[in-house]
Amino acid sequence: MSKTTAAITAVGAYVPDHVLSNEMLATMVETNDEWITTRTGIKERRILKEEGKGSSFLGIKAAEDLIAKKNLDPKEIDMVIFATATPDLPVAATAAYVATEIGAINAFSYDLQAACSSFLYGMSTAASYIESGRYKKVLLIGADKMSSIIDYTDRTTCIIFGDGGGAALFEPNEEGLGLQDEYLRTDGVGRQFLKIEAGGSILPPSEETVAKRQHFVQQDGKSVFKYAVSNMADASSKIMERNNITGDDVDWLVAHQANKRIIDATANRMNLDESKVLMNIHRYGNTTSATLPLLLSDYEKQLKKGDNIVFASFGGGFTWGSIYLKWAYNS
């Protein structure tokens, strides 16, 4: 009897219309296009401007894109995982609202938060549910409205992040395609280097925390960069060693889009040709939980059944890891 694996069978995506270019940022903080591009690889990012719309809106749009392309009846979806670092509201799960809005009325749903690794960890979770045999259709959505937690007077963070959403459907596969292996890690030392100080249970909101701008992302860029370069490259290298594959065997690297230099370092460690590295950081910046599914959606037509894909991510906490997956369909 062949082993059941969990394969991605459809993808969807959504980015807002409003474009925030490097030139526009240069009128807001002391920076310029050359400085941003050489250090990050980012040229522009998308911003959700409409009032009263949050990460759920981005996720719903991405899910609806997938549902339409797959011609999927949302009532057949068994569960919805909403990977996000920017939920609509505290306490009320954003996933529950998203599932209801897309018509997945038979699904149970919950949020998953692992900063920029949220979607990668969600892949592991979705695959486990499929492999267990309990569920047949798991919808994993990654969406973040990062503009809601970014201080646009802080040039160290406002140049990096954008808003977006992506989605992937996981289903059982009997051909040996889908998720093959994973290497996922965390280290609490990262808590001090990348965080939002206020708004949680340690430091609840107050007039003082608002005045001190403690509800925005704060980052020690040099420390985060150092950990990200070594750990993302290390995880990708380990997943290849464990599965006896080389750079020649890997068809695509789908890496978290935080910084082009980090992506390049990971590809170099894997001995991967530049043509195999999926990249859209120049268009969207770092959309946190949405980077991996946005890449899959942008490059879907180039992905072929049986392609060996290595996913890699790194995020706050610290959280990081790599997943080896065989693509399951021709677009």
Q: Give me the catalytic one of 22, 173, 259, 286.
A: 286
Q: Which of 207, 198, 167 is nearest to 90 (CA)?
A: 198
Residue 18 designated active-site:
no
**Contact at 8 Å (CB) between 288 and 160?**
no
22, 116, 173, 259: the catalytic one is 116
Residue 116 annotated to the active site? yes
Query: In 3-state terms, what secondary structure has residue 226?
Result: helix
Q: Is 113 helix (H, G, I), strand (E, B) or coil?
A: coil
Q: Which two tokens stand for residue 154?
A: 């802080």
Contact call for residues 196 and 218 (beta carbons, < 8 A): yes
286 is catalytic: yes
- Backbone φ, ψ for residue 206 (5° rounding): -155, 170
Length of the chain, in residues? 331
What are the C-alpha distances in Å from 46 to residues 14, 16, 18, 146, 161?
A: 10, 6, 6, 10, 9
The catalytic site residues sit at 116, 256, 286
